[in-house]
Amino acid sequence: MNETMTATPAQSGASANAPLEKIALESYVPPAKPSLVGLSRSELADRLGEIGVVSAQRKMRVQQLWHWIYVRGVPQFADMTSISKEMRQQLEQHFTLARPEVAAEQISSDGTRKWLLRLPSGDKLERAHEVECVYIPETDRGTLCVSSQVGCTLNCSFCHTGTQRLVRNLTAGEIVGQIMVARDRLNDWADRDTPNGGRLITNVVMMGMGEPLYNFEAVRDALLIVSDNEGIGISRRRITLSTSGVVPNIVRTGEEIGVMLAISLHAVRDELRNELVPLNRKYPIADLLQACRDYPGSSNARRITFEYVMLKGVNDSLEDAKLLVKLLKGIPAKINLIPFNPWPGTRYECSDWEQIEKFSEYIFNAGYSSPVRTPRGRDILAACGQLKSESEKLSVRERQALRAMAMTD
């Protein structure tokens, strides 16, 4: 494996010569005893057929399994009391209900939770793969940030996650499994009481590690399960998929998944976006915005979110704000301004708060919603752009810098 083609120096960010897309170092190797988590109803029926369940019974059995897995969240077949003991034993013999393993849990001072999740590598000689999943509680919602890859395909220069290699894509089961793990840890299944009397996880965002549209089929299959109203039941209007601009799969997202769309824009000129988001050299701004105009179902009630990280002296001038408004004309949009979350080794700084407010005010006066995202979970490196699967050994100076960052909201 040629790791030279996949590494991105953390100290310097993405260079002009960095590859636009990294090559996965591994592919998923299924275990001998697979988990049923993440299978569609038709796939569940096929698995039941493989172990001898007659066709006349499969639909009923699939419905039973679907309820126990996605409504009750049971971790083992023995808990499925509406299924015969014989059938439960048969299922136990061939399958599991395994989710990702929680390797570590961190809780921020603001209530944000970050889980480091361990996944099988398919090779017992290698260290297990790890991804991160983040829960952000707010007064009116609880948002779960979910990963789609081990590492990331892309090399965005301001993003901590982009400094690591792309190991492999996650399966649909591993994506759904993150939501199930979060519900396990929060005791947030439908048959259990929660502190607020409602669901704690109300929204899902595909904004964790990885580029979702370079793992389209698995992400699609997972989100169709997450939005199924007879299972996990999170409305498609409460699920947002964020992409750096994989243009060919943007319209497919609207047609085949039907969730809300977010675009990691971050620049209004191709020459700058080529540096910040090198994928722009393949899919430039004009092509990206045309795909947004063509996005199925977009309207003033279903606006596309444009994410814009605020980088001091880089993309935060009023001229940038004016061009941003001009570029988005005719697109039902809101602009989500994101104060840059520093990470050890980055060369970027967050824009001054006064400048962020001026930028936001101009966009608002032009008729666009322009909320400034409140940084969350900075003290546990759980904020936007900070996710990285391997726990970092930080120097004393770096740890002190991170503590200071956590206190500057």
Catalytic annotation, residues: 132, 384
Enumerate the β-bridge partners of residue 338. Answer: 309
Amino acid at 146: V
Question: 3-state class of 385 per DSSP?
Answer: coil
Question: What per-residue string of b and e applies to 72-94 under the rule 16 or more CB within 10 Å gives b?
Answer: ebbeebeebeebeeebbebbeee
Residue from 7, 10, 345 nearest 165 by CA: 7
Question: What per-residue string of b and e applies to 280-309 under the rule 16 or more CB within 10 Å gives b?
Answer: beebebeebbebbeebeebeeebbbbbbbb
Question: 3-state class of 332 per DSSP?
Answer: coil
**H helices present in 55-189, as ranges:** 55-67, 85-94, 172-186
**Helix or strand holding residue 262 (H, E):** strand 260-264
Instruction: Pull the structure tokens for residue 141.
Output: 């919602």
Q: What angle do CA 263, 383, 134 make, to 5 degrees?
A: 90
Enumerate the β-bridge partners of residue 350. Answer: 311
Are 207 and 256 contacting, i.e. CB atoms less than 8 angstroms apart?
A: no
**Helix or strand holding residue 289 (H, E):** helix 285-293
Instruction: Pull the structure tokens for residue 362.
Output: 């101009």
**Helix or strand holding residue 211 (H, E):** none
Give the DSSP letter of residue 227: T
Phi, psi angles (nearest 5°) of residue 348: -100, 155
DSSP per residue over 153-168, as a string? S---TT-SGGGS---E
- Distance CA(212)–CA(378), nearest Å, equals 23
